Amino acid sequence: MRKIKLFVTKPFPASQDPEDRYEIVGPESLSDPEQLEDVRGIIAAGHMPIGKDLFAKLPNLEIVARFGVGYDTVEISAANDAGIVVTNTPDVLTDEVADLALGLLIATVRKIPQADRFLRSGQWQSGAFPLSNSLRGQKVGILGLGRIGAAIAARVAAMDLDVSYCNRSQKADAPYRYFPTPLSLAQSCDILIVVVPGNTDGEAVVDREVLHALGPSGVLINVARGSVVDEPALTDALASGQLGAAGLDVFADEPNVPADLIEMDNVVLLPHIGSAAISTRNAMGDLALSNIDSWFAGTGALTPVS
């Protein structure tokens, strides 16, 4: 019996090899229509756009399984129009990303990477590392109280810090103060942690006004998507002192990070590693494959995007 054919945009980790039960083709097959005609599923890893242009080349496509919780690389409306199911990998990476966000927050406020560089360069021999700011007494705003946002909020609250949040709608069971807009949240807090889903319309949720509302001692932490923050405005605010510091795991044009940000000493930069632990990435790959398996077994997708 011939194997079902999948289009895989990029190799991804998983505890099982998909080639054991599927025929796999990759981006190199895009120039060969015959290779694509009988593709029935996509596993979408990385940043390759998945939308109507690709769908037009895959007339028998039924499902797109996104490797990751974010699905901003997939044109959901185009998939809906074509009757294609889209899935993602929620829950299995929630704690990993929340842990990373907390570590990035502490590293940014207490200047841990800067202190490491200070010691390694021999500067400790000439004097003590400059004092950092403290987390004590800081008010933390969570922008986006979904699964990951709630996990971050719980960790921050456990550190005896004041927590508030902004979400599309107020959560009845959330024990934190609610603010209806990103601006009102930023005006009320010292630290803003961004956890909202990425968007495809290019409009930043965190714009110049929101950044300025945080103020010269304010801190921005972004573990969401680079597109949700106005990156040029962020760079300007950090350079001018209108914003105190930032910890960034995501950028607008990955892996290209603006040179101005790299040169700043009040920024902690990470190469999009929020979920990048071996066990977590394997769990994400397994869930993406399980969605594919369940779909072609006739039992429906496990974690469809609503």
d(CA 44, CA 80): 17
* Strands laid side by side in the 39-44 sheet: 22-25, 4-8, 39-44, 63-66, 85-87
The CA radius of gyration of the chain, in Å to the nearest whole number, is 21
> Which DSSP category does 302 fall into?
S
d(CA 260, CA 153): 30
**Residue environment code for 120-138, b if the CB has 16+ CB neighbours within 10 A, otherwise e:** eeeeeeeeeeeeeeebeeb
Residue written as token pair 């054991």? 20
Under a CB-based contact definition with an 8 Å cutoff, are residues 195 and 224 in contact?
Answer: yes
Q: Amino acid letter at 28?
A: E
d(CA 227, CA 49): 15
Q: Is 225 a catalytic residue?
A: yes
Q: Report how far apart, in Å, the C-alpha atoms of 3 and of each of 38, 51, 66, 275, 290 are.
A: 11, 25, 21, 31, 16
Q: Is 281 a catalytic residue?
A: no
Under a CB-based contact definition with an 8 Å cutoff, are residues 296 and 40 in contact?
Answer: yes
Catalytic-labelled residue, pool 66, 212, 225, 281 = 225
> Which DSSP category does 303 fall into?
S
- DSSP, collapsed to helix, strand or coil, labels residue 242 as coil
Catalytic-labelled residue, pool 19, 37, 203, 254 = 254
- State how far Cα 239 lies from the chain centre: 25
d(CA 247, CA 234): 11
Q: Report how far apart, in Å, the C-alpha atoms of 140 and of each of 136, 176, 253 are.
A: 11, 11, 27
> Catalytic residues, which ones?
225, 254, 272
